Structure 1
Amino acid sequence: MKYRNLFFDLDDTLWAFSVNARDTFEEMYHKYGLDAFFDSFAHFYSLYQRRNTELWVEYGNAQITKEELNRQRFLYPLEAVGAGDSALAKAYSDDFFAVIPTKSRLMPHAKEVLEYLSSRYNLFILSNGFRELQYRKMCSGGIDCYFKKVILSDDIGLLKPASQLFHFALSATQSELRESLMIGDSWDADIVGADGVGMHQAFYNVSGRTEFPFKPTYLLEDLKELTQIL
């Protein structure tokens, strides 16, 4: 298969979201003296992650708005320990969103792989992230220069794996389906979504998944493997 167009997920595929987010949360935790309410940062973060996962599912199902998602996920850990201070939650939420896009950690070999691919293919971002953050994160990581277009779920109000978002991305980039490949770390969003529209997929298995409902076109343990495939 000769590809011309490569669609990359951003968070935890290229930009190291999990590491950058945890670092930012720990900064905010100490800045706002949250150890007065929690046993430890790990205690706080486990409460946040559990509710955040649930809220993203609700957001993906159009049960809550982006604003409600952000309000609830920052307030919940405080409410869980009986310190539901909405003003405090709003303050560290605002601070978090100001700081996180300045973080620059990338996934292993991300920049060298993009350098290799950018002269050979049309590179695009296809992400569920928020518009006000994604561009800044790409700039902080020094990878914005490799991409010809950034397609976000915010563009049409639907998240991957919605087929409409994939079709929109193809149309917006004037890409042919048979010449396109989706590369991402989320099985449900990236791989299921691409497969649903008949697009080839490369699953970056950062989570160490061992069971698959179907075989992806490519299975990656390291982004560097793309230089051997493409």
Structure 2
Amino acid sequence: MLRTVFLDLDDTILDFSLAEAAALRRALTEADVPADNAVLARYHAINAAQWELLEEGVLTREQVLLGRFDILFGELGLVRSAGEICGRYEEYLAEGHWFVPGAEALLEALAPRYDLYLASNGTAAVQYRRLESAGIKGYFRGIFISQDLGADKPSPAFFQKCFAAIPGFSRERAVMVGDSLTSDIRGGKNAGLRA
């Protein structure tokens, strides 16, 4: 019988694409960087590729966070501080939230029946603020964010640290739910979970 449900946050519960676009447009505009749809789409592609390299263990979190902006600015022929833009972007990203359609109803339906745990690769400070802003922190018995754990999904170390923090945890009674075939589904399966 299923008891434990691990839920990803971005694009599983909260619509990351909308939040990303709003925060990025604001941060780039303030830095006098073009923020049209083509630039946002290019950033999104660069960002996705950088996170995939993190999942494969090729890049560190810091390399991803700064590298995505360095690559974008290089392609645009601009000299800007990746650290400053990243800081502004994350500040604005933490302010807003939009739900994936049906996500709030899903949380309300699952919470009384299962032990819900958040399992996210996002930046800790950003994710905690987004959870507070969305008013959904109370649905979770525990919040596991890779930056806090010192291991990223899909690594087995991420999931082992989650399991160790849950009293009486059983893989046979748990499932991982998320939008990413690589970090959520492959990571959960490699850790012995249904996904």
TM-score (normalised: structure 2): 0.90
- 2:144 alignment partner in structure 1: 151
Query: Paired residue for 1:66, among 52, 56, 61?
Result: 61
CA distance in 2, matches of 1:113, 1:56: 27
Superposition pairs for residues 28-107 of structure 1, below 5 Å? Answer: 28-35=27-34, 41-86=36-81, 89-107=82-100
Query: Paired residue for 1:161, among 154, 160, 172?
Result: 154
Quote the offset at 1:94 in angstroms: 1.7
Query: Paired residue for 2:165, among 166, 169, 172?
Result: 172
- 2:8 alignment partner in structure 1: 9
| Deviating 4+ runs (over 4 angstroms) | none
Root mean square deviation of aligned Cα? 1.8
Quote the offset at 1:164 in angstroms: 2.2
SS of the aligned residue for 1:34 comes to coil
Percent of aligned pairs with the same amino acid: 27
SS of the aligned residue for 2:118 comes to strand
Matched to 2:27, the amino acid is: M
Quote the offset at 1:197 in angstroms: 2.5
Deviations 1:40-84 (A, max 9, x none): 612212332232223223333444332222222122222112112
Quote the offset at 1:24 in angstroms: 1.3
User: Are residues 65 and 56 of structure 1, via their aligned partners in 2, closer, same or farther at CA, if it must alter by over 3 Å?
Assistant: same
Q: Which of 1 and 2 has higher RCO (CA within 8 Å, sep 6+)?
A: 2
Contact conserved, 2:55 with 2:183, CA < 8 A, in 1? no
CA distance in 1, matches of 2:136, 2:153: 22
Contact conserved, 1:60 with 1:158, CA < 8 A, in 2? no
CA distance in 1, matches of 2:66, 2:179: 26
- 1:189 alignment partner in structure 2: 183
Superposition pairs for residues 100-139 of structure 1, below 5 Å? Answer: 100-139=93-132
CA distance in 2, matches of 1:19, 1:137: 13
Contact conserved, 2:23 with 2:90, CA < 8 A, in 1? no
Quote the offset at 1:109 in angstroms: 1.4
Matched to 1:59, the amino acid is: L
Contact conserved, 2:27 with 2:92, CA < 8 A, in 1? no
Matched to 2:79, the amino acid is: G
Unaligned regions of 5+ residues in structure 1, if any? 202-230
- 1:213 alignment partner in structure 2: none
CA distance in 1, matches of 2:191, 2:45: 31
Unaligned regions of 5+ residues in structure 2, if any? none
CA distance in 2, matches of 1:168, 1:121: 20
TM-score (normalised: structure 1): 0.77
Deviations 1:140-167 (A, max 9, x none): 1111110010112223432212122222
